[in-house]
């Protein structure tokens, strides 16, 4: 039998090829050259890339035998995951390969900003000896605020603790008890801004986190604050940061990421109190080698039909055909649950009812957790690391299956308990021969709405004119309503509006709606 063919489309460490072993035919090409890539990919079983090779619909159409796309790194911007999934091609990456490198760079930027390393170095190269001008500050016994206590945030916290720093953190999706075990005090964002001498950002970039640190937030900070962002560009508003640094509202910043990259002409680069690097978080020999070895192992597992820990779009192992259609629905339910909860749940129950409980439905628990954590952690969430993410955040998880399902052939519910005892729930089902996805329950309200890319849920006191008010505000914001349903407990009681819209609703419009209808809660969900 011929060996499976693995195409290496970019320069990878020699350890990558060694990790693949002798069981494959290894080919090489320049993946950045489309004229070379398209014919080269036509008969291969797997392709290994970094960031220069675009594996898009055109490449997938040419790759008739392709089973696995492996990205030797964390991001997947150059891989069309949706198209790969539709083509039945597994996508894997190396989600933990660069976490140590990223954490170390964040600490390096913090130290460099605190000690004026960049301007002092530039002055010395210009023949100037300016010891007194560049007097810095120590990290010892200062307070550092970690914004986002995911894997990289935890590593930064551990390293800065060793400097003798007091560590506080803001992350609504981490339990206080879990943080306390690490010696970290959880606080809200306003408290962190008020107390922190240093701040390091480690959040994923989502619609909710873009611009999270802006003019209002920086106005609450100490004038001595040193801010570091080595996570994602855009989380810190660059214009607001420039003004704060220029006017002395905060002291200094260390930046590795920018809203638009490559970035070579930011006004931030003109300031002496800014130290900046060109997105070097993963740029170490060790991180590149770890990434190559990790994806090589994943390719070996995938082509041998085994479970792949770092698969981002396909669950390894045997899954019953009757269970498969429920997987993407359950992931969406998890993302809706997270948006409704707005914080970490202490307990999550994944309830599966109906005919599919005759099969092994463990994958639906994993799909639920994958959805729950997709929008709140920096790491790429897979079916294997999702339970670990729950454990790291102190969230207990339970799978409940019941054959009885009075109202639906099959029903999947994610139900959680928050720290204050509040219950949050969302349910979905598949209807008709086409197995169309429907949301059928939200926090105890019966609904019937398609989980489209953009959703919103508004809870308020039932009064005349509320629906018209909502429609008017959305119309004024040029947001088209694709579907709407009003559910209520009783006349004049609590009501819930479930909205499916054609585009995302901005935070400003949501705030306007909340004020106009005096809403108890307003939640938007982006499933793109």
The CATH number for 431's domain is 3.30.1330.90
According to the model, what pLDDT value does residue 1 have? 64
According to the model, what pLDDT value does residue 436 have? 94
Q: Are 434 and 329 in contact (CB under 8 A)?
A: no
Residues 141 and 127 in one domain: yes
Beta bridge partners of 427: 413, 441
Q: What is the mean pLDDT of residues 43-71?
A: 94
CA–CA–CA angle 332, 334, 340 (5° rounding) = 105
Using CA atoms, how far apart are residues 261 and 234, in angstroms rounded to an integer?
A: 11
Using CA atoms, how far apart are residues 268 and 287, in angstroms rounded to an integer?
A: 28
Q: Let me know if residue 281 belongs to a domain.
A: no
Q: What is the mean pLDDT of residues 159-175?
A: 95
Residue (of 199, 269, 202) closest to 230 by Cα position:
202
| pLDDT level of residue 216 (50, 70, 90 thresholds) | very high
Catalytic hit among 116, 279, 300, 459: 279
pLDDT at 254 over 80: yes
- The angle, 0 to 180 degrees and rounded to 10, between the axes of the packed helices 151-161 and 99-114 is 50
Tens-place pLDDT, residues 301-321: 888 867 687 788 765 555 778
C-alpha distances (whole Å) from 97 to each of 156, 286, 314, 498 are 16, 8, 20, 40
- The angle, 0 to 180 degrees and rounded to 10, between the axes of the packed helices 466-476 and 507-516 is 150
Residues 195 and 126 in one domain: yes
| pLDDT level of residue 386 (50, 70, 90 thresholds) | confident
What is the rounded (10 degree) CA torsion for 286, 280, 98, 111?
A: 90
Q: What is the mean pLDDT of residues 221-231?
A: 97
Q: What is the mean pLDDT of residues 291-306?
A: 88
Whether the model clears a pTM of 0.85, i.e. scores above it, the answer is no
Q: What is the DSSP letter of 250?
A: S
DSSP per-residue string spanning 67-83: -EEEESSS--TTB-HHH
Residues 307 and 341 in one domain: no
Is 335 among the residues known to form the active site?
Answer: no
- Is the link from the previous residue into 75 a cis peptide, with omega within 30 of 0? no
According to the model, what pLDDT value does residue 171 have? 94
pLDDT at 206 over 60: yes
pLDDT at 11 over 70: yes
pLDDT at 155 over 60: yes
Q: Let me know if residue 200 belongs to a domain.
A: yes
Q: Let me know if residue 389 belongs to a domain.
A: yes
> Three-state secondary structure along 321-348?
CCCCCHHHHHHHHHHHHHHHHCCCEEEE
- For CA atoms 258, 264, 266, 267, the dihedral sign is positive
According to the model, what pLDDT value does residue 316 have? 52
pLDDT at 370 over 70: yes
Is 185 among the residues known to form the active site?
Answer: no
The region that residue 524 occupies, defined by phi over 0 for left and psi between -120 and 50 for alpha, beta otherwise, is beta
Q: Let me know if residue 149 belongs to a domain.
A: yes
Q: Let me know if residue 499 belongs to a domain.
A: yes
Residues 139 and 271 in one domain: yes
- The angle, 0 to 180 degrees and rounded to 10, between the axes of the packed helices 117-125 and 99-114 is 70
pLDDT at 176 over 60: yes
pLDDT at 134 over 80: yes
Beta bridge partners of 367: none
Residues 122 and 268 in one domain: yes
Q: What is the mean pLDDT of residues 37-43?
A: 96
Within 269-422, strands assigned E span 274-276, 345-354, 396-402, 410-418
Q: What is the DSSP letter of 217?
A: H
Q: Over the chain, what is the mean pLDDT?
A: 92
Q: Are 527 and 426 in contact (CB under 8 A)?
A: no
Q: Let me know if residue 361 belongs to a domain.
A: yes
Question: Could you tell me where the DSSP H helices lie in 357-402?
Answer: 362-374, 385-392
CA–CA–CA angle 398, 400, 405 (5° rounding) = 155
In sequence order, the 6+-apart residues with CB closer than 8 A to the CB of 303 are: 4, 24, 45, 46, 67, 68
Q: What is the mean pLDDT of residues 6-26?
A: 93
pLDDT at 111 over 70: yes
Domain boundary among 451, 481, 509: 451
Please give the structure tokens belonging to residue 121.
Answer: 């170095």
Residues 366 and 225 in one domain: no
Q: Are 370 and 334 in contact (CB under 8 A)?
A: yes
| pLDDT level of residue 77 (50, 70, 90 thresholds) | confident
Cβ neighbour number for residue 19 with a 10 Å cutoff: 19
Residues 128 and 173 in one domain: yes
Q: Are 410 and 354 in contact (CB under 8 A)?
A: yes
- With H, G, I as helix, E, B as strand and everything else as coil, classify residue 147: strand
Structural domain boundaries, residue 477: 453-528
Question: What CATH number does the domain containing 482 carry?
Answer: 3.30.70.260
Domain boundary among 451, 467, 485: 451
Q: What percent of the chain has pLDDT over 70?
A: 98
Catalytic hit among 216, 261, 355, 520: 261
Tens-place pLDDT, residues 266-275: 999 999 999 9
Residues 112 and 246 in one domain: yes
Does 2 or 274 have the greater pLDDT score?
A: 274
Q: What is the mean pLDDT of residues 338-343?
A: 93
Residues 209 and 174 in one domain: yes
According to the model, what pLDDT value does residue 379 have? 67
Domain boundary among 451, 472, 502: 451
CA–CA–CA angle 475, 209, 258 (5° rounding) = 110
Please give the structure tokens belonging to residue 435.
Answer: 């197995």
Q: Let me know if residue 408 belongs to a domain.
A: yes
pLDDT at 223 over 90: yes
Residues 120 and 255 in one domain: yes
Question: What CATH number does the domain containing 51 carry?
Answer: 3.40.50.720
Using CA atoms, how far apart are residues 61 and 297, in angstroms rounded to an integer?
A: 25
Is 279 among the residues known to form the active site?
Answer: yes
Tens-place pLDDT, residues 387-413: 888 988 889 999 999 999 989 999 999
pLDDT at 96 over 90: no
- With H, G, I as helix, E, B as strand and everything else as coil, classify residue 303: helix
pLDDT at 296 over 90: yes
The region that residue 230 occupies, defined by phi over 0 for left and psi between -120 and 50 for alpha, beta otherwise, is alpha
Residues 225 and 310 in one domain: no
CA–CA–CA angle 521, 527, 528 (5° rounding) = 140
- The angle, 0 to 180 degrees and rounded to 10, between the axes of the packed helices 385-392 and 362-374 is 60
| pLDDT level of residue 98 (50, 70, 90 thresholds) | very high
Catalytic hit among 50, 71, 116, 232: 232
HSE of 452 in the Cβ direction (CA atoms, 13 Å)? Answer: 19
Number of domains in the chain: 4
Residues 27 and 70 in one domain: yes
Residue (of 265, 179, 250, 248) closest to 213 by Cα position:
250
Using CA atoms, how far apart are residues 177 and 166, in angstroms rounded to an integer?
A: 17
Q: Residue 144 belongs to what H/E stretch? A: strand 143-147
| pLDDT level of residue 234 (50, 70, 90 thresholds) | very high
According to the model, what pLDDT value does residue 315 have? 57
């Amino acid at each position: 039998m011929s060996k499976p063919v693995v195409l290496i489309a970019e320069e990878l460490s020699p350890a990558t090829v060694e990790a693949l072993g002798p069981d494959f035919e290894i080919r090489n090409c320049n993946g950045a050259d489309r004229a070379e890539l398209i014919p080269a990919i036509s008969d291969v079983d797997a392709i290994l890339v970094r960031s220069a090779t675009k594996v898009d619909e055109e490449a997938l159409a040419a790759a008739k035998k392709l089973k696995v796309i492996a990205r030797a790194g964390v991001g997947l911007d150059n891989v069309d995951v949706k198209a790969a999934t539709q083509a039945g091609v597994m996508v894997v990456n190396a989600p933990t390969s660069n976490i140590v490198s990223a954490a170390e760079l964040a600490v390096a930027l913090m130290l460099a900003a605190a000690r004026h390393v960049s301007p002092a170095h530039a002055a010395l190269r210009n023949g100037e000896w300016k010891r007194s001008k560049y007097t810095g500050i120590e990290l010892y016994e200062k307070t550092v605020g970690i914004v986002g206590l995911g894997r990289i945030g935890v590593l930064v916290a551990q390293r800065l603790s060793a400097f003798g720093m007091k560590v506080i953190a803001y992350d609504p999706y981490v339990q206080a008890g879990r943080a306390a075990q690490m010696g970290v005090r959880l606080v809200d964002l306003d408290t962190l801004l008020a107390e922190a001498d240093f701040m390091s950002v480690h959040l994923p970039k989502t619609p909710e986190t873009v611009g999270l640190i802006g003019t209002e937030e920086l106005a609450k900070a100490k004038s001595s604050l040193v801010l570091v962002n080595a996570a994602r560009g855009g989380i810190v508003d660059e214009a607001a940061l420039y003004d704060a640094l220029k006017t002395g509202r905060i002291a200094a910043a260390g930046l590795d990421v920018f809203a638009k990259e490559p970035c070579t002409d930011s006004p931030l680069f003109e300031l002496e109190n800014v130290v900046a690097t060109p997105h070097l978080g993963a740029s170490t020999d060790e991180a590149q080698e770890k990434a190559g070895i990790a994806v090589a192992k994943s390719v070996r597992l995938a082509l041998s039909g085994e479970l792949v820990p770092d698969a981002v779009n396909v669950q390894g192992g045997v899954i019953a055909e009757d269970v498969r259609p429920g997987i993407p629905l359950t992931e969406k339910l998890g993302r809706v649950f997270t948006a409704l909860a707005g914080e970490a749940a202490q307990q999550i129950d994944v309830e599966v009812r109906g005919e599919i409980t005759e099969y092994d439905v463990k994958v639906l628990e994993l799909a639920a957790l994958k959805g729950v954590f997709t929008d709140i952690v920096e790491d790429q969430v897979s079916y294997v690391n999702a339970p670990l993410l729950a454990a790291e955040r102190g969230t207990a998880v339970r799978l409940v299956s019941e054959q009885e399902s009075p109202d639906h052939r099959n029903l999947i519910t994610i139900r959680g308990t928050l720290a204050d005892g509040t219950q949050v729930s969302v349910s979905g089902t598949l209807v008709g021969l086409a197995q169309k996805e429907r949301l059928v329950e939200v926090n105890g309200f019966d609904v019937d709405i398609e989980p489209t890319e953009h959703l919103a849920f508004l809870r308020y006191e039932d009064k005349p004119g509320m629906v018209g008010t909502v429609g008017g505000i959305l119309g004024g914001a040029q947001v088209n309503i694709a579907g709407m349903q009003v559910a209520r407990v009783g006349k004049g009681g609590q009501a819930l509006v479930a909205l499916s819209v054609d585009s995302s609703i901005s935070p400003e419009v949501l705030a306007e709606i909340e004020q106009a209808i005096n809403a108890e809660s307003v939640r938007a969900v982006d499933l793109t």
